[in-house]
Amino acid sequence: MSTFVKLSLMSVGLMLAVQAAAAPAVPNSPRVAEIVASRCALCHGPEGESASAVYPRLAAQHPDYIAKQLKDFRDGRRKSETMAEMAKGLQDEDIAGLAVFFAGRKAAFRQPGDGDFAAVGKFIFQRGNSYSGVPACASCHGANGHGTQQLPRLAGQHPAYLEIQLKEFSKRERTNDNAVMHTVAAKLTELETRAVSIYIGGLQ
């Protein structure tokens, strides 16, 4: 076997190994499956695609972010009577399994919303509003709204859910996450809040 072929095979093998390490494995745990079926599926769907606009999509969300939110609900740092009850009694290993499970689900396609609102939202998302001091959403959440391990994936999220969260940040009713969001959300007008939520909801 030539040196070139050997090097090529080694390169392919290394690339596949890196990809396998980067992609979260979806656990086939009976415990995780039982929790999804008994606690999560009713509101968020068995694949993390919630049918109601007031419940967030979990499919394709970053596992570290999901785990943080579940621990915050369980430990009282994020307020929600429903989610506090759902997260009650979950062990850290349960939460880790749920986070990897939903992160491994594929996000379904969502139809873009109102085009006029979305155009305004796109401007805010990509460029912000220098007149009111609103920074571009993309500067933290990425050009496609895919976020990071610490910051949530926003792309394709229900616009109504996004609006609710932005208003809670604005009123400082949601306090378990980055305090920067309190300042940003407080500067958004109601129209901008609606517009940016609709635009984000149409991202893939």
Distances (CA, A) of 161 to 29, 73, 133, 179: 30, 17, 24, 19
Phi, psi of 138 (to 5 degrees): -65, -25
CB 139 within 8 A of CB 173: no
**What are the domain boundaries of the chain?**
30-103, 115-201
pLDDT digits (tens, 9 = 90+) for 46-70: 999 998 999 999 999 999 999 999 9
Residue 105 CB neighbours (<10 A): 18
115-201, which class in CATH? Answer: mainly alpha
135 contacts 180 by C-beta, under 8 angstroms: no
Token pair, residue 2, equals: 């030539």
183 token code pair:
């300042």
CATH superfamily of 30-103: Cytochrome c-like domain (1.10.760.10)
Cβ-based neighbour number of residue 21 at 10 Å: 9
Helix (H) or strand (E) holding 32: helix 30-35
Q: With a cut of 80, say whether residue 3 has pLDDT above it.
A: no
Q: Mind listing the pLDDT tens digit for each residue in 179-196?
A: 899 999 999 999 999 999
Nearest to 180 by CA among 148, 143, 142, 133: 133
Residue 20: per-residue pLDDT: 40
Provide the pLDDT for residue 167.
96
Sign of the Cα torsion 13, 16, 21, 27 reads: negative
Considering the entire predicted model, what is its pTM? 0.83
> Is it true that 30-103 and 115-201 share their CATH fold?
yes
CA distance 156 to 32: 25
Mean of pLDDT values over 88-95: 97
- Mean model confidence pLDDT for the chain: 88
Closest CA to 198 of 121, 93, 107, 101: 121
**Helix 180-187 with 159-170: angle, nearest 10 deg:** 110
Least confident of 70-79, 88-97, 107-116: 107-116
- The residue with tokens 């984000």 is 200
